[in-house]
Amino acid sequence: MRRALELAVTRLGHTSPNPVVGCVLLDADGSTVAEGRHLGAGQPHAEAAALAAAGPRARGTTAVVTLEPCAHQGRTGPCADALLAAGVARVVYAVPDPVPGHAGGAERLRAAGVEVVGGVLREEAERANELWLTATRLGRPCVTWKFGGTLDGRSAAPDGTSRWITGPEARADAHGLRATHDAVLVGSGTLREDDPHLGLRHGVSGRPPLRIVLDRTGSIRPGARVLDDAAPTLVVVGESAARPELPNGHTVLALPETGGRLDLTALTAALYERGLRSVLLEGGARLAAEFASLGMLDRVVAYVAPVLLGGGGRAVLDEFGAGTLSEALRLRLDEVARLGDDVRLVLRSRPLAGGEEPEEAP
C-alpha cells in the first residue's frame, strides 16, 4: 500500500477534478506484477493502468489500491468491472470513495466473489489525497494558507522589507507546495506591495497552478508580473467594477460583494465549478483572516524563521477578530520539519477522516 501511495502522490497537482490514485498488482507470493497511477482527468484510472501493464498476468492477483475502486461509468469505465473482467482474486484498498454515485465498487466486487479488504493504511492515504478528499466532502476547494514569518509573527519589517525572512530550503519547499495545488491566490494588497509572480521557481518542475488575484475594483496594472505568459491568471473583480483588459489570454471573473469585500463563499463555489479542488492562499494577512472567520482555512503551512522583528512590522494575520481566548481558532499541529535554519509547521482545522482499523489484516 505504501508503494501505491508513492505512485499516487507523484501526480499531485495534475489530476483535478479527479483524485490521485495508485495501484499495485501482486502475485500469490507477494511479488509485484504491475503498477499503475492515474495521470489525469480523462486518462485511465490507476487500476486500469495496472491491469493494462499486467495483461493476462493480472488473473489471480491481489490489487492494492489507495482509493476504493469506483462503480461509476464516466469518461472511463467502472474500475470494479475492469478488475472483475481481468480475474483479480483479491482487492485491498485504503479509503472508501466519498463521491455519491461513485462508491459501491467494494460491494460489487464482494458480490462477485472477490475478497475485499478496506481501510488499510487509511490515515496515510487520507493525508496523501487530502486536498481532493477535503474538497469532495465539503463541496468547495480545500484551502491551504501558506506563510513565511518570524518567530514573533511578522511577515515584513516596519519599512516593508521581507526578502528574505526564511532561508533557501524553506523557499524551495514552499514552491514544491505550490506545485501540488490547482491554484494560488493573493489579494490586491499583496499584488500592490510585492508584485508577486506566483509561478514555480527554485528548481521546482511541474504544471504551474492557476494564478488568482482578488482585485475588487479591477485596477490591476497591465505590467503586473502575474500577467506574463508563464501560467494562466484569473482576475476576480466585483460585479460593479469595470472589467480590466488583460493580455496573454488571462480571464476575468466577476463576483458579488458583501460589505465592500468580494464574496469568498461565491468565489470558492465558482472555483469548484471550474474543476479546482485545491487553493493555496499566499496573501495577505487580512485575506487569510477573512477565510479563517468563514471557517474556510482547512490547512496552514507555516515557515517560521528564527528571527525577531518586534513591534511595527507587518503581522502574518490581521483583523481576525478573536476578542478573547475562547474565540481563538485552535488548530491541530500534525507535522513539524526542520528546513535549514527554519521550521515548517503543518496544521489542520479538523482531523482527517481516517484512522479506522482495517476490516481484516491484508
Active-site residue list: 47
For residue 359, how many other CB atoms are within 10 A of its CB? 13
Rg (CA), the chain: 22
Q: Residue written as cell 483524485?
A: 19
Residues 92, 62 contacting (CB under 8 angstroms): yes
Grid coordinates in use for 220? 490591476
Annotated binding site for Zn(2+): 45, 70, 79
Annotated binding site for NADP(+): 148, 164, 190, 194
Annotated binding site for substrate: 162, 178, 198, 201, 282
Q: Residue written as cell 497537482?
A: 13
Q: Phi, psi (5° rounding) for residue 287?
A: -65, -40
Distance CA 191, CA 125 (A): 36
Distance CA 310, CA 321 (A): 21
Residue in 356, 360, 290, 340 with CA at minimum distance from that of residue 174: 340
Half-sphere exposure of 244 (CA within 13 A, CB side): 27
Tell me if the bond preceding 17 is cis, omega within 30° of 0. yes
What CA–CA distances, in Å, run from 257 to 240, 241, 245, 253, 267? 9, 10, 21, 13, 10
Annotated binding site: 45, 70, 79, 148, 162, 164, 178, 190, 194, 198, 201, 282
